[in-house]
Amino acid sequence: MKTIQELQADIVDEFSVFTDWMDKYEYLIELGKGMPLIDEKDKTDDHLIRGCQSRVWLSCRKEDGRLHFAADSDAIITKGIISLLLKVYDGQTPEDILAADEGFLEQIGLKENLSPTRANGLVSMIQTIKDYAANLREKPAEAPRADASRDLQDDVIAALRNVYDPEIPVNVYELGLIYEIQAEPDGQVFIKMTLTAPNCPIADEVVAQVQEAVADVPGVKDVQVELVFEPEWTVDRMSEEAKLELGML
């Protein structure tokens, strides 16, 4: 069986033949069709990956010292992204998974071509795979750590889904107005966001609503919201759910 590094190198070679990112997206979709699918009975909240803009389920079993994953998603691009990760990590040992880096994702340009919400979801997928590896390795070097910042970020995202754009009946998170979320274990939260238009007359009100919603999240000690307009917001930053809600799909 190939090592993780060899599989990553194969993926870099496969993506190098594409010069357009639409072709790369098509390839991701094809990968998703061949992914080992999670059993329908395992599509439960326990197997949902938190932090993804679309629903993604991931299960894991250990056999002969190696981890075998199965997954599914209700969004075709997200399904392709998780299938790409499983192509690398499925059948590997917990120790090798924990030791691996994800530099190949930057080499193929995946991170820079994802919306901020999808990029956050990618990070959550990788972290979940590594959490499985940490919990299933034979001799953990130390007790599993409490991932307080990750849990807090999930709660912050849930709060942001309750803040709506004043002109569009979709919440600011699904609209793709949230560019960055940093949630620290000590309760410090930093958010970088934008608006659909720089000259929005109630910009201060929207920012205040975001700050108040996040400040009410248990465990949050302080919130800083930075309003930016670079890069410029476009409809491409909207999630599939938002586009569906607005009749754009």
Residue 221 neighbours by CB under 8 Å, 6+ apart:
186, 187, 188
Q: For residue 239, what are its two tokens? A: 């999630």
Is residue 200 flagged as an active site residue? Answer: no
Instruction: Name the residue among 45, 43, 51, 41 with its Cα closest to residue 73.
Output: 43
DSSP 8-state code for residue 92: -
C-alpha separations of 43 from 54, 126, 135 in Å: 14, 19, 20
Catalytic one of 52, 60, 70, 178: 52
- B/e letters for 21-55, b = 16+ CB within 10 Å, e = fewer, are eeebeebbeebbeebebbeeeebeeebebbbbbbe
Contacts of 125 (CB under 8 A, 6+ apart): 49, 52, 56, 58, 81, 82, 85
Bridge pairing between strands 222-227 and 188-193: parallel
**Tokens 């389920």 appear where?**
57
- Bond prior to 116 in cis (omega within 30° of 0): no
Sequence length of the chain is 249
Is residue 227 within 8 Å of residue 210, measured between CB atoms? no
- Supply the residues annotated as catalytic: 52
